[in-house]
Amino acid sequence: MKQFYRLLFVAALVVLAQGVEAQELKVISFNIRYNSWNNIDGENGWPNRKAAVVRMISEEKPAAIGLQEALIDQLRYLDSCLPAYRRVGVGRDDGKEAGEFMAIYYDTTRLVAQIVGTSWLSETPLEPSKGWDAACYRTVTSVFFTDKISGQSFYYYNTHLDHRGPVARAESAKYLAKLTDESEDIPVILGGDMNSTIDDTIFNAFYKVGLKAAREMTRNTSHKDTYTGFGKDRPSLIDHFFVREVKVERFRTLDGDYGVPYISDHYPIEMIIRL
């Protein structure tokens, strides 16, 4: 009888472990569009979009969301509206609060952030600096997460490549490839506004280190343009996730109705994954 209960206990542990491993994670990347001091976006300005942004996050409930272009006043508003989330990342201009953040919010009930870092996409990545022919300071925020449910760990890198400098985009991609390659066999997520379509040769640096375009890894996917320019510019697909040692179950462009015509000049992208 004792042997029977021992076997039953072992079987239960196996089933539990399988269930834990099957847990899904939802991750979003979103260029939030900075809050312009002179309201150049008019009716699409941050004051008219901010409640809709919170609604999107609250409805989608990502385990982690990487933001691009966020300024400190926008982040403080989100902090006040998203009590279950914690934020990491620094301002790109001074490594503190000046300039745009590549912020990562994570659900503290689901994830633990164990290692957090920021690098500048430049020849001097450990200090605030502008690289190559870039028009702006550019950074990558990196976090080593552990999932509280499954115990699985992974790296999440959130970045924004330069919009003007082709050399800067290419060299930044090489730097990011090297950075992510240091994670060894741990799953990697790299996402952000890449200011490049998926056929750009800069991404060859990613492919060489085993990163794959998440959008291409599932049949349940979207190839909808992500940059909209608030409906005034020519749309393009320039926001991407790249992953390694990750199974992508679903990939979506979040173009739904969250209460305003546009929650940004970019649509968020979302993927559901298994580690």
Residue type, 231: G
pLDDT value, residue 12? 42
By the 8 A CB rule, do 141 and 66 touch? Answer: yes
Stretches where the chain sits below pLDDT 70 are 1-22
Spell out a b/e string for 185-205, using b for 16 or more CB atoms within 10 Å of the CB, else e: eebbbbbbbbbbeeebebbeb
pLDDT value, residue 39? 87
pLDDT value, residue 21? 52
210 is written with which tokens? 């085993």
Nearest to 270 by CA among 200, 199, 225, 215: 215
**Fold classification of 24-274 (topology level):** Deoxyribonuclease I; Chain A (3.60.10)
CB-side exposure of 213: number of CA atoms within 13 Å? 20
pLDDT value, residue 272? 98
The answer to pTM > 0.95 is no
pLDDT value, residue 74? 98
pLDDT value, residue 150? 94
Nearest to 263 by CA among 2, 62, 69, 64: 69
